[in-house]
Homo-oligomer: A and B are copies of this chain.
Amino acid sequence: MAQQSLTASVKDVAAAAGVSLGTVSNVLNRPDRVAAATREKVERAMAELGFVRNESARSLRAGRTRTLAYVMLDAGNPFFTDVAQGIEHAAEGAELSLFLCNSDARASREATHLGHLEQQRVQGILITPVDPESPVLDAIAHRGTPLVIVDRTRRGAQFCSVAVDDVLGGRLAVEHLVDRGHRRVALVGGPLSIGQVADRFEGARTAWTSAGLPPDDLTLLVADSLTVAAGRSAGERLAGIPSGRRPTAAFCANDLVALGLLQHATTTGLQVPEQLAIVGYDDIEFAAAAAVPLTSVRQPRQELGRAAADLVLDEAGNPQHEHRQVVFTPELVARASTRG
């Protein structure tokens, strides 16, 4: 019952139990090698002293930690928390702790986190980077920490990565809109420097031209971030277009933007989907939960996380590991926001 302030060590336990230090260690790590009576005595001592293993000492000794880390791009976006869930499941299975960090899309914070994680000697780092081409990532891999890029890809093959085919996703979205008869469509999202956005819009354009539609009728509305606020502001610009030329449908680069656009439409009395159909991307829970449930392009978020974790664990544990680029296939989920 002594309140040891978390400071009882194996040595203390040994003393209290009247055995040697090695025996305590054996109780901890090879319980079978120690007589039942002794073991019980030791366990009682541990309970009484409130003994807690010191992970720092264990890691130091073992040369590696029992920890994985995921650096999220935006913890406020449910997409990433779902990815994190997938990772966490995998980590749990491997009896690893998961260190969750949030870069909030700021390179400096990302760098700070990465620095800490390297010092912590985490077994591996999963990251949705602000910039997948950043040399910071190379430096880390070069120094030896396994690193997997999540939901982005990188030129070359210096890392494992797990992503979703965004070009295909964009194509699915626009094909769906064309199928439903739309002949003037807006692409809403940005900045275009984000690889995903560029890819999704590229796929969108491909679908458009493949359908033999005039490029001029595919309007690009660039947003400065993938947020609800950006969606609202895009809504204003959309409303400013004369109704004769105004797109009858919008494909948004993610669901947050789509929700913002939907809100703007609803509050200004624009009927969705009758006057404006909307397709989002990611299929976060809030997309289905919107007042007008959103059609969206679903990404296998949890699987994304799980696959990434598997890769990083392979890289950490398998000597003949080879970098792989896993690409998942997205899927269109049609809901009321496009049901004319």
Contact = CB atoms under 8 A, between A and B. Distances in A.
A28 B92 CA distance: 36
A99 B54 CA distance: 17
A263 interface: yes
Interface in A258-295: 259-260, 262-263, 266-267, 285-286, 289-293
A120 B121 CA distance: 13
Contacts of A53: 119
A19 interface: no
Interface string A31-69: 000000000000000000010111111111000010000
A81 interface: yes
Contacts of A290: 263, 290-291
A6 B144 contact: yes
Nearest to A98: B101
A75 B70 CA distance: 14
Nearest to A96: B116
Please tell me the size bucket of the interface on A: 35 or more
Nearest to A119: B55
A101 to B, nearest CB: 7
A6 B76 contact: no
Nearest to A99: B99
A63 to B, nearest CB: 8
Interface in A1-22: 3-7
How many copies, total? 2
Contacts of A260: 289
B75 A84 contact: yes
Nearest to A259: B289
Given A60-B60, A85-B75, A285-B228, A5 B144 contact: yes
A263 B50 contact: no
A101 B118 CA distance: 19
A82 interface: yes
A78 interface: yes
Interface in A66-109: 75-76, 78, 81-82, 84-85, 88, 92, 97-102, 104
A38 to B, nearest CB: 24
A200 B88 CA distance: 32
A145 interface: yes
Given A6-B145, A97-B116, A267-B291, 8 more contacts: A6-B144, A50-B144, A56-B60, A99-B99, A228-B286, A260-B289, A266-B292, A267-B336
18 contacts: A5-B144, A6-B118, A50-B139, A52-B118, A56-B120, A85-B102, A97-B99, A97-B113, A97-B120, A99-B100, A100-B101, A228-B285, A228-B289, A263-B290, A267-B291, A267-B292, A267-B336, A290-B290
